[in-house]
Chains A and B, each alone.
Chain A
Amino acid sequence: MLNPRQVEPNMYRYDEFDSKFVHERVTQFAGQVERRLTGELTEDQFKPLRLMNGLYLQLHAYMLRVAVPYGTLSSKQLRRLAHIARTYDKNFGHFTTRQNIQYNWIKLVDVPAILRELAEVEMHAIQTSGNCIRNVTADQFAGAAADEIEDPRPLAEIIRQWSSLHPEFLFLPRKFKIAVGGSPNDRAALLYHDMAVEIVRNKEGRTGYKVLVGGGMGRTPYIAQVIGEFVEKDDILAFMEAVMRVYNEQGRRDNIYKARIKILTNALGIEEMRRQVNIEFAEIKKVGTLQLPQAELDRITAYFAVPAFETGLSDAMPDAGPDFANWVRTNITAHKAPGYAIATITLKTPGQVPGDATSEQMDIIADLMDEFSVGEVRVTHEQNLVLPHVRNKDLPAIFAKLKELDFASPNAGLITDIIACPGLDYCDLANARSIPIAQKIALKFEDLDRQHKIGELKIKISGCINACGHHHAGHIGILGVDKKGVEFYQLLLGGSGAEDASIGDIMGPGFTEHEIAGAVERVVEVYLAQRNDGERFLDTYRRIGMEKFKAAAYETVAA
């Protein structure tokens, strides 16, 4: 072990109330499990209750989804997650596109014990599924990024508390996902959320919140639209509650595919939606109990205080050989403190399952966190981990340790840094496998020079139309479909989940499992041949359109 001393990072800490709340919730859920086992609850009645606590019945077994609120974990928590994988599962966990972690082989009878273990380290599985407000996500570089206006996590924590067992919004028409961002560069896919809050600065230089609604993927993808241009900080919960109430009252309940707020927003039109939300908002403000006092915001913000950074550090990057230099090129992001860096650990070494980590890997990353990153790590929606506060001079040592873990791939943001949902290998809803396709493509593009030559290219793979793998938002998106029990894969081009969000265009008929990686390669070749200086794949696609890509993709398939 590098460092037996566990570092306590600057993040939200439970007080007696939070702790009691989570422990009582565990007891409540244990009672629900007990009532299910005795038959007092039928499966139909139990299902929404277990989902509201993150427990699914999947293809092979139960799956438990544990919340990682806004993607922030302490080393102590990561060690506990490793312990749970070791004790109750098969020694690994899977980090998801909503910054959570999933265990795939859970027994129903073990869940109360697992939840108790989580509660001890201030974690839970509350509202990680079900038709309620889900775990709140945020920019993974929060509190560290040089481009940040404000750390989005204090608001995310306030939203977490407000939404926890909110009595009015636990039986919504459908699930409800909220994300918070604090920088003009969107790293949290804000525009694809049911509701998103972006910290902005107005003309007078004051910060407040821009609120967007109605984004989403799935069967009918939509980009979120602005519903509140500049919501004052003390009004934010009242405003969000107004949005939730309009949705709960009017969201469709007759058709599961039309039940998300994106459908309501587009049926009403954003102007009408805004009008109704503003009426609700005014009424809620009149009552006044949801106003967020500055003192409360300050109190929560204090938990997330920036660590005491060393001063006088050099901004220069150490020289530690060409492999290290490659890694720095892709996996290091500018930090706001001089001499510090943000290091992305891609869980995407070509051939590995995107987002998986074993208990041993989690334990060693926890050691790295204590030794080099004030005990803190972040989970990203791209299924990677991030050490948010590391000194440049420590990077070579971190890189060396990551190499031993096989997590040192210099590929953050590159073509092998692929998002993939669990797909048909695990998921009860999937139509096709996602992970093996990600593995094939990553291995095809394993050559590092080639990856760097291609540059930023985000491939995102979903195993069904529900789009957990964000295929609509991939520069290259892949959607698995089922044709008479056989897997096929559709290609989409031109999607983006960033601040320049766009929905990918479907190319045409699907490819077989054996054809899809080759089709992707031919698409990439078209890009390399067509690109102008400095153009990303996405830029070239936006400039020249589908035609040439399509011709190349189907070239040898047709033959």
Chain B
Amino acid sequence: MTKLLKSGAFAADAFQATADDAALPDGPVIVSLARFEKERETLLARNTPIGVRLKSDENPTRLGDDVNRLSLVALEFPKFRDGRAFSWARLVRTRLGFKGEIRAVGDFLFDQLSYQHRVGFDAWEVPDHFTIEMFNAALAEMTNVYQPAADGKKTIRELRAH
């Protein structure tokens, strides 16, 4: 089982993951990119929050301006070595200017949380034994960073200038 960690705290998951062939339940749903593209009009016409889940080979710029009508983008890590979602999150946050939730789902390690946080993820489906202390520890391991990313953190170059 997993639980949802969002913006630094555990949170109830308001969204229902919905299979491509299942009827849409009431309330917020997460659908695949394929289903979103196919049923775009219907989904956008519903008066409930929508999330789209992307596989690691699906470029989120396919969503275009629609992204800002979504509440959630879930990015898959099929295995922790597959680092494509690090770029996808960056594009969603920086290029597409998405302000909603970017959720990491699938196989990732404690040691990747801080990098995911930097590229724009703000929500994680984590295993049940995971604690907030662990999350905070992961983010605190490296105080400073050398390169700008999607987290707006001051880089070492900027800190040096002061």
Contact = CB atoms under 8 A, between A and B. Distances in A.
Interface of A: 15, 17-18, 20-21, 24-25, 27-28, 31-32, 45, 48-49, 131, 161-172, 245, 248-249, 253, 283, 287, 289-290, 296
Given A167-B86, A167-B114, A245-B87, A161 B146 contact: yes
A169 B86 contact: yes
Given A17-B144, A161-B146, A168 B84 contact: no
A20 B145 CA distance: 11
A18 B149 CA distance: 18
B109 interface: yes
The 7 closest A-B pairs by CB, nearest first: A171-B83, A167-B115, A167-B118, A289-B148, A17-B156, A161-B146, A168-B86
Contacts of B82: 171, 253
Interface of B: 59, 80-84, 86-88, 90, 94-95, 109, 111-112, 114-116, 118-119, 141-149, 156-157, 159-160
A248 B142 contact: no
Contacts of B145: 165, 167
Contacts of A32: 111
Contacts of B115: 165, 167-168, 170
Nearest to B152: A289
B80 A171 contact: yes
Contacts, number: 92
A515 B157 CA distance: 57
Given A24-B141, A32-B111, A248-B87, A168 B146 contact: no
Nearest to A166: B147
Contacts of A169: 83, 86
A248 B56 CA distance: 11
B146 A165 contact: yes
A20 B143 contact: yes
Contacts of B90: 168, 245
A20 B111 contact: no
Contacts of B59: 249
A161 B141 contact: no
Contacts of A17: 144, 156, 159-160
A241 to B, nearest CB: 8
18 contacts: A17-B160, A20-B143, A21-B146, A31-B141, A45-B109, A48-B80, A131-B83, A162-B147, A167-B114, A167-B118, A168-B86, A168-B149, A171-B80, A249-B59, A249-B84, A253-B84, A283-B95, A287-B148
Given A15-B160, A167-B118, A21 B83 contact: no
Which of B80, B82, B157 counts the most A-chain CB atoms under 10 A from its CB?
B157
A249 B87 CA distance: 7
Nearest to B159: A17
